[in-house]
Amino acid sequence: MRITNQSLYIPFETNLEGIQDRRFKEDLRISSGKQIVALADNPQNLSIIKMLTSQIDQTTQFKSNVEDSLGELYVASEQLGVLGDKIQNIREVNIDALNISNHSALSSIAQHVKGLIDDLIKAANLDFNGHFLFSGTKSTPNTLDKNGVFQNDMPFEIFQGTATATNPSGLQVTFKGNFKDREIQKDKQTTEVINVKADQIFGKDGKEALETLVELYNILEFNPKGEVRITTSPLSKEEFGKINTLQKRLGEFYDNITSVSAQFGSKINRFESIRDQMQNELTNLEAMRSTKNDTDVAKATINLRKEELALQYSLQVGARLLQNSLFDFLK
């Protein structure tokens, strides 16, 4: 084949461009840390990377959901303990009332019970991050069912109603929330309930336990005629019987709260375990993505060096090849 100047230049130029292009890509791979620097590099892997990234984003979000909920679960669990303690406290006070020699202190015991009921309601009205913990999905003041004459914007309220023979103090308890679940999504398919409902804590209508306490207060504060008990007025046999019954019911409520609290504790453990699993899953997903996406620095460095050498030798050989002609030797 006849070799001409142009037939030397053309492949030389093309090859040089090829080497420089490959060298640039390896350089880019090392500096960016990414194996794929253009869509055309590896479309199949790029699709896989996109899917993995999406999966990582979703899992990160689910993990964040679980972590956020854990905060709420911790607070709710602690608050369940507080509620249990209050009821236990009332039960202990009640035992004092049942002591026959304490009849002169019944009124002060009644006031103590009333104070504990207030504390209990205050504890049940706790909010976390702007929402009430135990009022179901009616978790903000403006969504509470305020159909009656209520004093405040809290889900649980004790208010002064009309005194009756069965309720001489006229104290009434109301619950303005509902008993719906609050759920979070913990993975693609499933949701998890994160709230404790009022009826789980306080029984029927979310206020049975509180009404029981008001009933107890009424017995302690008022005599069977509905008059405020005077210090010399002891409890009648019938009242003793009622208080014993109420004490028993309070025991049931306490057991119930303890049981709910235990279930909740178990849920917290499960959430912590899910969070750890998700962390593992994220680590694995990121490792998988890394194998597809990240530069194998050793390989890229070797390739870069290869291309640099190729470029250097091409330039050296090309320079000699293109310079020499017969004219160089004709003097």
Q: Considering only CA atoms, which of 128, 132, 258, 244 is closest in space to residue 197?
A: 132
Binding positions for another protein, rule: CB under 8 A = 1-7, 10-11, 14, 34, 36-44, 46-51, 53-55, 57-58, 61-62, 64-65, 68-69, 129-132, 135-140, 142-143, 145, 178, 180, 182-185, 188-189, 191, 194-195, 325-327, 330
Side chain identity at residue 301, one-letter code: T
Least spacing, CB of residue 171 vs another protein, in Å: 27
Distance CA 56, CA 175 (A): 42
Rounded least distance, CB 77 to another protein, Å: 17
Toward another protein, which CB reaches closer, 112 or 197? 197
163: left (phi over 0), alpha (psi -120 to 50) or beta: beta
C-beta of 71 vs 241, nearer to another protein: 71
By beta-carbon proximity to another protein, the closer residue of 47 and 108 is: 47
Residue position matching structure tokens 């207060």: 217
Residue 92: Cβ-neighbour burial (10 angstroms; 0-12, 13-18, 19+): exposed
Q: Which two tokens stand for residue 322?
A: 């293109």
Amino acid residing at 172: Q
For another protein, the closer CB: 42 or 89: 42
Of 15 and 301, the one with the shorter C-beta distance to another protein is 15
C-alpha span between 117 and 231 (Å, rounded): 22
Q: How far apart are CA 153 and CA 174, in angstroms?
A: 12
Task: Report, in Å, the least distance between residue 324 CB and another protein.
Answer: 9
- For another protein, give the closer residue by CB, 162 or 189: 189
Minimum distance, C-beta of residue 150 to another protein, in the bound complex (Å): 15
Two structure tokens written together for 4: 């001409």
Nearest distance in Å: CB 102, another protein: 44
Structure tokens at 229: 């008990």
210 CB neighbour count, 10 Å cutoff: 27
Residues 203, 196: Cα–Cα separation, whole Å: 12
Q: How far is the CB of 6 from another protein (least distance, A)?
A: 4
CB closer to another protein, 62 vs 217: 62
Shortest CB 106 distance to another protein, Å = 41
- State the DSSP string of 268-295: HHHHHHHHHHHHHHHHHHHHHHHHHHB-
